Chain A
Amino acid sequence: GAVVSQHPSRVICKSGTSVKIECRSLDFQATTMFWYRQFPKQSLMLMATSNEGSKATYEQGVEKDKFLINHASLTLSTLTVTSAHPEDSSFYICSARRLAGGLDEQYFGPGTRLTVT
């Protein structure tokens, strides 16, 4: 199966600081990666679509200047939460799109739990 990693798995930061989360596809190339946020007992919420070498496409209501996304290579996308506030505390999950063997599937990373104090 396809493997997607995220780093860090858990981070605690102070209000006003920035946090960078990395998402890597370990055994396949991903031209497209997606970033989600999930609050407790709620559904996944898509934040943005990240295409390698181009600007990310953000969903309505997601501040692009606050959530900076960079997809510099076919195996790495990063999400930077700038000037984090307690309301940004959430579970951030990436997924990577894999095209192989006639299949077009998306695999999720293990997630990053962000706590802003």
Chain B
Amino acid sequence: QKEVEQNSGPLSVPEGAIASLNCTYSDRGSQSFFWYRQYSGKSPELIMSIYSNGDKEDGRFTAQLNKASQYVSLLIRDSQPSDSATYLCAVILSGSARQLTFGSGTQLTVLP
């Protein structure tokens, strides 16, 4: 089992819809979770960090964390074509030296 798993996609949604991206992790002791966005040919950009169970909202983005289910998700409301990118879920595993462990990424396309 991979340490961090994401639906590889690709995921396509129409403009204005909600895009839902999912991630599961295997290390029950993990405490820090992140979503990054990476456009083709560019470096990752931090969208959201989340550390506690529940929802965390920032603009059109909402991260959801459920530690009991070892599940973290990202919702993008009112999706725009400019949101088309690869979304990376990252987890800091317990016992690590704060290195990020990434999922394989989900490629999102928002159709105009």
Residue B46 at the chain A interface, CB threshold 8 Å: yes
Q: Is the CB of B104 within 8 A of A104?
A: no
In this complex, the interface size class of chain B, counting residues with CB under 8 Å from chain A, is: 10 to 19
Q: Is the CB of A49 within 8 A of B97?
A: yes
Give the docked Cα–Cα distance between A32 and B34 (Å): 17
Number of residues of chain A lying within 8 A (CB) of chain B:
21
A-B contact count (CB 8 A): 45
Residue B60 at the chain A interface, CB threshold 8 Å: no
Give the docked Cα–Cα distance between A110 and B39 (Å): 11
Contacts A49-B97, A57-B97 hold; do A107 and B46 have CB atoms under 8 A apart? yes
Residue A106 at the chain B interface, CB threshold 8 Å: yes
Q: Is the CB of B44 within 8 A of A32?
A: no
Closest B residue, CB atoms, query A41: B40
